[in-house]
Amino acid sequence: QMVILGMGKLGAVELNLSSDIDLIFAYPEGGETVGTKRALDNQEFFIRLGQRLIKALDPVTVDGFVFRVDMRLRPYGSSGALVLSFNALEQYYQDQGRDWERYAMIKARVVGGDLAAGAELLEMLRPFVYRRYLDFSAIEALRTMKQLIQQEVKRKGMAENIKLGAGGIREVEFIAQAFQLIHGGRDLSLQQRPLFNVLKTLEGQGYLPSAVTEELREGYEFLRYTEHAIQAIADRQTQMLPDNEQDQARIALIMGFADWASFHERLMYWRSRVSWHFRQVIADPDSDPDDEQQDDSEVVVGGEWLPLWEESQDEDAAGRQLLQAGFVDTGKALKSLADLRSSPNLRSMQRLSRERLDAFIPRLLAQAVEHEKPDLVLERVLPLVEAVARRSAYLVLLTEN
């Protein structure tokens, strides 16, 4: 049977009012099915099954839809096979798994199919997520992820986003997951999915004082209730505070406040407390949060292009970003990047080489849009990148120049 992993909020049983669901499909081993007409390779069979499942859940009909299904967290994203065997998944994460994929895998849960086989799969993937040693590199990885989010928030004017903005939902999650990634390999009690359970363990095991975990719990709860209220009014997946008086009044009423001003004051109190705790745990101890020049110096070069390269945004949004930056044939540019991602040369890369490629491509895109013909830059440079990518020293050379 196929195994279905639920990721993110689905895996942690923390769905919001208008969540999409992130899934990964897998099957135990190779072989062939026995059908009435002809035998099928296991992978082909399960790809067809996965497509039928998505088709049952995702489309909007006269009766609405069940869930928006997002499959981009699977290995190689949209350019990867829809379903992989257990061994192929294990090999991918062992050789090429990236820091953000460790973060995502923390909340993975078997939500369908063969539950016993799914438990075996999670056990196979556990060493990738939770290292046997104290893994303090996780702090730097989360720091980088937060810097990228901050750049995206600033670029898109999303300061009022209660999930991604300063003191938002994501910062509470990062605090908990920092301790999980650092200590979870040795302290099995931290290998949990729901955030509140993790916070309780962090307090019980002495990682954080009770006053801190209590504030994080209350702040997170307020932010999540606000998220539900926003989505109930907007009837779509969004975490942006409304900018019109009618919806602001409705949010305040749902949250139990007399008016928007009193609600917003309380919201900003919790965001400031979450932000303060986040800086104590995650932020660079040498940085000054009030120093704008310091913030500018920490910009990840090409960071605004990383979501496009890693396919963490949908194709329409990626196309709009390319068009606004000066690309003419956005479809061709996206296909060229997808072809590079799915190239056999790249799929067999080791983790260090893949990390170097992930550092270079956003920089390449950032440089390409500085030229008069960015389409031509990609057309000429990407074949070179594919040719030299197996020699990761060349990627370092390209990145540094």
Q: Is 285 inside a domain boundary?
A: no
Taking only the tens place, the pLDDT of each residue in 112-121 is: 999 999 999 9
Residues 97 and 230 in one domain: no
Taking only the tens place, the pLDDT of each residue in 265-322 is: 999 999 999 999 998 888 655 555 544 444 444 455 677 888 888 877 778 888 999 9
pTM: 0.78
Report, as an integer, the average pLDDT of 239-268: 96
Residues 147 and 121 in one domain: no
Report, as an integer, the average pLDDT of 344-357: 79
Q: In the predicted model, is pLDDT for residue 123 greater than 90?
A: yes
Angle at 51 between CA 127 and CA 94, to 5 degrees: 15
CA 375 to chain centre: 28
Taking only the tens place, the pLDDT of each residue in 305-315 is: 888 888 777 78
CA dist., res. 213 & res. 223, Å (int): 15
pLDDT at 295 (0 to 100): 47
Residues 201 and 321 in one domain: no
Taking only the tens place, the pLDDT of each residue in 34-60 is: 766 778 889 999 999 999 999 999 988
Residues 211 and 328 in one domain: no
Q: Residue 28's pLDDT band (boundaries 50, 70, 90)?
A: very high
Cα dihedral: 252, 257, 259, 262 (round 10): -110
Mean pLDDT, the chain, integer: 88
pLDDT at 294 (0 to 100): 44
Residues 22 and 92 in one domain: yes
Residues 238 and 356 in one domain: no
Q: Which domain holds residue 315?
A: 303-400
pLDDT at 296 (0 to 100): 43
Q: In the predicted model, is pLDDT for residue 326 greater than 90?
A: yes
Angle at 246 between CA 242 and CA 248, to 5 degrees: 40
Pick from 95-99, 194-198, 380-384 the range whose average pLDDT is largest: 194-198
Residues 103 and 148 in one domain: no
* Residue with more model confidence, 179 or 289: 179
Q: In the predicted model, is pLDDT for residue 346 greater than 90?
A: no
CA dist., res. 150 & res. 155, Å (int): 8
Residues 123 and 194 in one domain: no
Instruction: Say how many domains are in the chain.
Output: 3
pLDDT at 65 (0 to 100): 81
Q: Is 295 inside a domain boundary?
A: no
Q: Residue 372's pLDDT band (boundaries 50, 70, 90)?
A: very high
Q: Residue 341's pLDDT band (boundaries 50, 70, 90)?
A: confident
Q: Is 286 inside a domain boundary?
A: no
